[in-house]
Amino acid sequence: MANIFAIISAVLLAASAYLAFKNKAALETEVDRRVEAEQNLGNNQMRLADLQGERDSTIATRQDVESQTEARREEETAAQTKNAEMKSDLDSKKSISKENSDQIDNIKEQLQEVGDLDEVAGKIRGLKEDINELEDQQAALQAQRANLLSERNSTQEVISGYNQVNRDYSNKNSFFDSASINAIYGPWGFVTISAGNAAGAVAGSTLEVVRGGETIAKLRVRTVEAGRASADVVPGSMAEDTTLMVGDQVRPAAAESTSPSASQGN
């Protein structure tokens, strides 16, 4: 009985050993396959990375090419536009050139009708000289006319001044700007003033004595000399409490004063 168990045990051990050997061989084969698969995987990953790099490079290259192509298209469009503009400008210049050529031909025909250019140029120079001479004469006449007008105006002003002076003398109006009392002769009721015949004091005219901007008395010129005049105090023209003083301002009476142009007698 023991031998049977020993035989069975031996058989089992042998079977186990055989299975172990077979499993080891299979395991080693599987390990080799796995290592090979991992190597293939690594190689494929590297290949994939290379392919992805090539793909990215290809995409970048394509984008660059597309960008360059678009730029070329824009340049081509701009060039076409510029060519069209240049062609239009060229056509316009050709048209102008044709017009100029026609004008030149027309001028040549006219020159042939006019005759020799030197003769025509001489006539033109002669006409220019005649025109310049006439313009000089006209300028001289205008200057002479302006002088005559100025002299006439000056003469008219002088005549107007003398006429005004004559009217002032006729109307017994003094026409000096201002004067003052030089002396007072109270007992005799008259004063002397600093304006005489040369300044525009007129005998018989009425004057106003002004102090502080107000008329305080009136005078009537009695006699006139070259540099002074005597004048009587007009009765009732001065208040009882008012006294004339040397230096009081005197002017022609407001109702009898003349325009400023009359003061040319100063």
CATH of the domain at 254: 2.40.10.340
Number of structural domains the chain divides into: 3
Cα 253 from Cα 170, distance rounded (Å): 16
Task: Specify whether 91 is located in the same domain as 180.
Answer: no
Please state whether beta strands 179-185 and 206-211 pair in parallel, antiparallel, or not at all (unpaired): unpaired
Task: Specify whether 160 is located in the same domain as 178.
Answer: no
Task: Specify whether 179 is located in the same domain as 159.
Answer: no
Smallest CA-to-CA distance from 208 within 194, 220, 223, 196 is with 220
Question: Other C-beta atoms within 10 Å of 182: how many?
Answer: 17
Per residue in 183-203, pLDDT (tens digit) is 999 888 899 999 998 899 999
Q: Is residue 121 part of a domain?
A: no
Q: Is residue 266 part of a domain?
A: no
Query: What pLDDT score was predicted for residue 259?
Result: 41
Q: pLDDT > 90: what percent of the chain? A: 21
Q: For residues 206 and 145, which has the higher predicted lDDT (pLDDT)?
A: 206
Smallest CA-to-CA distance from 221 within 183, 193, 188, 254 is with 193
Determine the structural domain holding residue 136 and report its residue range.
Answer: 129-170
Query: What pLDDT score was predicted for residue 142?
Result: 84
Q: Is residue 219 part of a domain?
A: yes
Asked if residues 222 and 190 have their Cβ atoms less than 8 Å apart, the reply is: yes
Which pLDDT band, with edges at 50, 70 and 90, does 155 fall under? low
